[in-house]
Structure 1
């Protein structure tokens, strides 16, 4: 362990004092599992917003947690440094059967399910017009050209599209992959995607109902994984990135397409967005934690005629494991 990963006696005592209170310990236990907003924490712990905000402020001052403003919302998560690791170690020592913490987890799961149901309802209602509704930024044509340029023109064996929606990326890269799988949580979206694939005659591509937080695919099984305009709909984008990285073969590439940070709050209210874009440094931190090397970042800025001012960013990262680590390929399991 390096000096940067350790704490002085004073810093350790300060961190322990900060977490040494029932509400703050409950907050740390929740944040060890997922990042939260004040609104989420208020609903889970059943306390007032000013009280929760005060406890979060004290935890942040002790460097146990970090706050990330995003439009009108602020997300809190455990810090990356030694203080954050100390918090994780403390939580790991607490019994999961503690009745207070178990009740917190139950309410947390209920909130998470309600948000997932809300998003599912949104997508079900808009499945047939989804591609048209994604015209709030530079043209999809330009985005697709940038994606093709990022991946290059060399063929690859297997392609995984997370949150495939109408299956558009399965069509875009059809001339490069040997087999492809699209995963989506919306049955309505998948119905549209299947119709589109049939119309395009793509028999080597399939779609499947699935959860981007818990992929039902073999690990280390795809050469390219794409996440196109999906992360901003998710409560926990880092969890989805972790699953995407797990699906990559050694040397495989992860292509992420999403919005740069913006202030368009109406996208939360009318379009079920959970995140108002992602900064370059935030995405780089997530990818580094997954041992992925960021190879390319491209910003597609809208022209003067687009009054929404939404910039689309492409991140291309590569699994740093060397290809010689790859076990014998089981092609029968690539697309079930």
Structure 2
């Protein structure tokens, strides 16, 4: 509790007295401990958020390349998706501490648990993305001999697996946003409408970045359209969490989170402009793709750091609670 400051002054009739002055409240917690326990997640969870989105966006890119007859786009998307989902699984298992814990989570399917649902999404997505990527190596197998049947069967199997991975990709791209919003961390919880949208846009933009980096200009049309769609979702969501949440928007504007999210906006805008302007320039397309990938990293890490910062400061827990109580008492809720 803040102490009341006192100062000497003159009361009525010129007699000395005390005038009470109440200072502004200092938001401290019991013995200096946070009201909420801040997430113990390290940087590897932020990296997990990025790589999962990259895998999802790359599978959607690959499906677009497959359906429109753009082999370079398809190949880049499939190979990147496998690499990204492998990295994502590594970061998740590294945070869990032991690989067996991931296996234990598969014992139960709990629809009300975003973590349980996410584990099953990864389990469904991984083999499909893996088979689609392996199918890209079919032309390297000998046309005759023991491997000839494998060479014939891999391409159609890869087509089916690629479409299956793309079907699961939207869930993979957005479930981490639901996971963060389901926690008690103030700035994550209050941003529950925006986080899945931001992560969906970030996934599309990062997948587009892969296409712009790897595919020739003539085949990069779907990647450019993905870049525009992803940037629109990502920029709208990031702007909303920085302006709509009142006090809880503050952690997204200040400190590390603020710097990362501002960098993400600039890189996203630059990437989209470059993607549209560089239709005939391989160099400009590649630079735009790199900018979109960097923007996705900055956005994911910015959202992560913003939530952690809000859990560490007691006022982001206390003041919104008081405001909700005040509105209820006033009959507004």
Q: TM-score, normalised to structure 2's length?
A: 0.23
Higher relative contact order (CA 8 A, sep 6+): 2
Going by fraction, where is helix more abundant, 1 or 2?
2
Going by fraction, where is strand more abundant, 1 or 2?
1
